[in-house]
């Protein structure tokens, strides 16, 4: 029987084992610019290993996902965190798993979350996650991640697909 994962609402608390939720809600701020701006300071810290630097890119997802759907792989970036910040206030799906050991994810702990369109996520270095899954296309994301030399993407293929549903 095919394994099925239920999609959960993304919150700061339920995503904490995998990284940080990038949003204003639930975070402290201070005023800047003559009190015209609330600064939500250092919500996320970028992780970078080795000879590299943080880069900001735009990812445009041109293919949307329809729920329910199947996944058959996860990836991770062992040398740096990776943040996805939606630029068009469109909800997107986040699928993650903790590590089982040094080489593979714990698929028994696979989780799926849906954002509210204003939230971004920061995957900690080494967090197993599915590539970007959007419900609308095109969808643009500001992505902050490690730019540098060396191998920084590992892929794990499942033995059999997992169904993701609401």
Ordered DSSP codes for 32-78 = ETTTTEEE-TTS----B-SSEEEEEEEEEE-SB--SSEEEEEEEE-T
The tens digit of pLDDT for each residue in 80-125 reads 999 999 999 999 999 999 999 999 999 999 999 999 999 999 999 9
- Into how many domains does the chain fold? 1
CATH classification at residue 151: 2.60.120.480
Query: Which residues sit opposite 133 in a β-bridge?
Result: 93
Q: Is the pLDDT of residue 63 over 80?
A: yes
Q: Is the pLDDT of residue 2 over 90?
A: no
Q: Is the pLDDT of residue 138 over 80?
A: yes
Is the pTM higher than 0.85? The answer reads yes
7 pLDDT band, cuts 50/70/90, is: very high
Over residues 47-74, mean pLDDT: 96
Domain that includes residue 34, residue range: 4-165
């Amino acid at each position: 029987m095919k394994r099925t994962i239920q999609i959960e609402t993304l919150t700061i608390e339920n995503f904490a084992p995998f990284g940080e939720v990038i949003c204003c809600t639930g975070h402290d701020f201070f005023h800047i610019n003559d009190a015209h701006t609330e600064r939500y300071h250092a919500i996320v810290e970028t992780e970078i290993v080795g000879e590299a630097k943080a880069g900001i890119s735009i990812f445009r997802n041109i293919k949307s996902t329809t729920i329910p759907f199947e996944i058959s792989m996860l990836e991770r970036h062992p040398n740096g965190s990776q943040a996805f910040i939606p630029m068009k206030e469109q909800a997107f799906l986040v699928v993650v798993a903790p590590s089982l050991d040094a080489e593979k994810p714990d698929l028994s702990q696979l989780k799926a979350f849906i954002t509210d369109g204003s939230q971004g996520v920061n995957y900690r270095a080494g967090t197993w996650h599915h590539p970007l899954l959007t419900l609308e296309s095109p969808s643009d994301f500001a992505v902050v991640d490690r730019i540098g030399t060396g191998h920084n993407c590992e892929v794990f293929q499942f033995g059999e697909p997992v169904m993701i549903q609401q």
